[in-house]
Amino acid sequence: MFKIARVGKHLWEEPVISGDRGSGTIFFSGCTMKCIFCQNYEISHDEKGIEISEEKLVSLMLWLQDEGVHNINLVTPSRYGLSLAHTLEKAKLSGLVIPVVYNTSSYERVEMLRLLDGLIDIYLPDMKYADNLLAKKYSGVPNYFEIASKAICEMRRQQPNDIFDGDFIMKKGVIVRHLILPTHAEDSKKVLDFISSVDNRLYVSLMGQYFPTKQVETLCSLFPELQKRITQAEYDDVTEYFFKVGLKNGFSQELNSAIEDYVPTFDLKELQNLLSIL
Ligand code: SF4
C-alpha cells in the first residue's frame, strides 16, 4: 500500500520540469525529515492522506500521462523503495513512457536508491544543509550532510548527463534544489561548494521562497531567526557565490514568489473522487 495526499498537474516546478503542460505530481504522505518550516506540514508531519494499492498508483500515473503532463513527479516517495520499484516496472509495462521524476529530501540510503536504478529519469533532490547542527535543529535528523551527499552522488551516478528535448524540457538528469534560509547564507555557500565538487555541470535550483509558516510562528521564541523572509542581499550573495564556485547551470527565483499562494492544498475529497473514477 501507498499513502498519497494529492495528484494533479503542477505548474510551479522549475521550467524544465513544468513546461507549459505541467508536471504530473503525486504527493506521498510522510517524509524522511521533519522540517519545522515545511510548507506541506499537514502531509509531511501529520501524514494526512489516503491509502491506495499498487494497481491504483499505476492507474494514476497512466491517467496523468493521458492528461498530457510532461512527466510523472513523485514527491517524497522515499519510504517506499522496493514497492515503488515494482510499481514503476508495472507502470512501464502498462504503457508509461514519459519521464519519471524522483523528488526527495535526499535523506535516504544509497541502497534504496540503487533499487530504482534504471527506473528514474530525473532526480530532483534537496540539499538543505551543509551543517549537521542546522539539520538537527530545524529538521530533527542526525548526520544529514553525510547521508544526503552520498545520496546525491548516487543520483548523479545513475543520471550522469542532463538531457533535454527541443523545447528545453528535461528528459534525463539531476537538478539539486536548495532553499536559502534567513541568516544562513554562509551555510548555503557550503552547500554550493559541495554541489560543485560533485559535478560543476549540475543544475542547481536556488530557492528564495522561504516564508515563516504558522508552525514556525508558534515557535518564535525558539527560532527568532526564522520569523522573516530572506533579504535580496542574502539571495544575491548566494547567487554570486554560485558563479564564484564554478557552477554553470541553474535556476533562480524572484523573491516575491515567497507567498503561500504557490503552496499546494491537500483536498482529500477531491482525491477520493479522482480515485473513484479510475
Ligand atoms: S524535506 Fe521537504 S517535505 Fe520533508 S519535511 Fe522537509 S521541507 Fe517538508
Tell me: the pLDDT tens digits for 237-260?
Answer: 999 999 999 999 999 887 766 555
Mutate to test the pocket of ligand 1, among 42, 76, 138 (most ligand atoms within 8 A of CB): 76
Residues pairing with 9 in the sheet: 24
**Ligand 1 pocket test target in 40, 144, 178, 179 with most atoms within 8 Å of CB:** 40
Asked if 81 and 117 touch (Cβ cutoff 8 Å), the reply is: no
Centroid of ligand 1 to alpha carbon of 115 (angstroms)? 22
Cβ atoms within 10 A of the Cβ of 227, count? 13
Report CA(11)–ligand 1 centroid distance (Å).
Answer: 19
* Percent of residues, the chain, with pLDDT higher than 70: 97
Provide the 8-state DSSP code for 164: E
Q: Which atom of ligand 1 is nearest to the CA of 76?
A: 3
Mean pLDDT over the full length of the chain:
95
Q: What confidence score (pLDDT) does residue 257 get?
A: 62
User: Can you tell me the distance from the alpha carbon of 213 to that of 250, in angstroms, rounded to the nearest whole number?
Assistant: 26
Residue 201 and residue 209: Cα distance in Å, rounded? Answer: 24
Residues 206/180, Cβ–Cβ less than 8 Å: yes
| Assigned C-alpha cell, 198 | 560533485
Sequence ranges of the domains in the chain:
2-277
Domain 2-277, CATH: 3.20.20.70
Residue 99: count other Cβ atoms within 10 Å of its Cβ: 21
Atom of ligand 1 nearest to the CA of 105: 1
How many C-beta atoms lie closer than 10 Å to residue 26's C-beta?
23
The pLDDT value given to residue 81: 87
Site to probe by mutation for ligand 1, drawn from 139, 152, 179 as the one with most ligand atoms within 8 Å of Cβ, is 139
N-to-C CA span, the chain: 17
Query: Which residues have any ligand 1 atom within 6 Å of their CB?
Result: 31, 33-35, 38, 40, 44, 76, 105, 126, 139
pLDDT digits (tens, 9 = 90+) for 126-154: 999 999 999 999 999 999 999 999 999 99
Q: Which of 179, 264, 194 minimizes the C-alpha distance to 230?
A: 179
Report pLDDT digits (tens) over 67-125. Answer: 999 999 999 999 998 999 999 999 999 999 999 999 999 999 999 999 999 999 999 99
Interacting residues of 130 by C-beta distance below 8 A, sequence separation 6+: 145, 187, 190, 191, 193, 194
Beta strand pairing call for 122-125 and 163-164: unpaired
Rg of the chain (C-alpha set)? 18
Q: What is the pLDDT of residue 12?
A: 87
Ligand 1: residue whose CA is nearest its atom 8: 38
Query: In testing the pocket of ligand 1, which one of 74, 126, 181, 210 has its CB within 8 Å of the most ligand atoms?
Result: 126
For the CA of 41, the nearest atom of ligand 1: 8
Q: Which three cell numbers stand for residue 41?
A: 506540514
By the 8 A CB rule, do 252 and 209 touch?
Answer: no
CA 237 to chain centre: 23
Q: By three-state DSSP, how is residue 38 classified? A: coil
